C-alpha cells in the first residue's frame, strides 16, 4: 500500500473526480472503486472518507439522496452544480502540483 500521507491532501479531489464520472455513489462504493482502480495500492480509510464527504456536503459541493436497498437505507452522494465546477478547478490544481513534483524529481537539464 502506498504511503497514505502522500494522498491525504488529494482525498477530496479523488472523491470529486469519481463522482464526476458516476451519477451517484455511496461511501463503501467509493472505497472499493479506489481500491479497484489502483489495484489495491491506495486504500481510502473509513475514518478519512466520511469526514471528507460530510465536509463537501456542508460546503454545498455534494447533494445527498437516500434509497432503501435490501433491508437497509443507503445514502448516495452526487455532485451539485457548484461541485462540478469545483472538480474542474481541483483537478487542474492537482495536475499542476503533479507537474511541479515531476520537474523536481526528474529535472530536464538543458546545456
Partner 1 sequence: MALTQEHIENLYAFTRKHFVEYYDLQTELVDHMANDIEAIMVKNPHSTFEETRDASFKKFGIFGFMEVVEQRQKAMSKIYMKLLWNYVKDWFRLPQIILTTAIFGILYTVFSTEIGSYVFIVSYLILCLFLFIRTISINREIKRKRKAKEKLWLLEDIIYGNASIGTLILGPQVFQLINLTDSFSGFMPLICASVFTVILIYTYISAVILPKNATFHLQETYPEYAL
Per CB under 8 A, residues contacting partner 1 are 26-28, 45-47, 50-51, 54-55, 57-59, 64-66, 68-75
List all residues 6 or more positions away from 99 whose beta carbon is below 8 Å from its beta carbon: none
Q: How far is the CB of 107 from partner 1 (least distance, A)?
A: 38
Q: Residue 9 or residue 97: which is nearer to partner 1 going by CB?
A: 9
Min CB(89)–partner 1 separation in Å: 20
C-alpha–C-alpha distance, residues 18 and 62, integer Å = 12
Which CB, 46 or 93, lies closer to partner 1?
46
CB of 71 to partner 1, least distance (A): 5
Pick 70 or 110: Cβ nearer partner 1: 70
For the chain, the distance separating the N- and C-terminal CA atoms, rounded to the nearest angstrom, is: 39
**Which residue in the block uniquely carries the three cell numbers 529535472?**
107
Contact 79, 20 (CB under 8 A): yes
Amino acid at each position: 500500500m502506498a504511503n497514505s500521507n502522500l494522498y491525504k491532501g488529494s482525498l477530496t479531489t479523488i472523491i470529486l473526480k469519481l463522482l464526476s464520472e458516476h451519477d451517484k455513489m455511496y461511501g463503501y462504493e467509493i472505497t472499493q472503486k479506489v481500491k479497484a482502480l489502483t489495484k489495491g495500492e491506495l486504500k481510502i480509510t473509513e475514518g478519512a472518507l466520511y469526514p471528507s464527504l460530510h465536509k463537501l456536503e456542508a460546503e454545498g459541493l455534494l447533494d445527498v439522496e437516500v434509497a432503501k436497498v435490501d433491508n437497509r437505507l443507503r445514502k448516495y452522494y452526487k455532485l451539485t452544480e457548484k461541485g462540478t465546477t469545483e472538480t474542474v478547478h481541483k483537478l487542474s490544481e492537482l495536475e499542476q502540483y503533479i507537474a511541479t513534483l515531476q520537474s523536481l524529481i526528474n529535472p530536464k537539464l538543458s546545456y
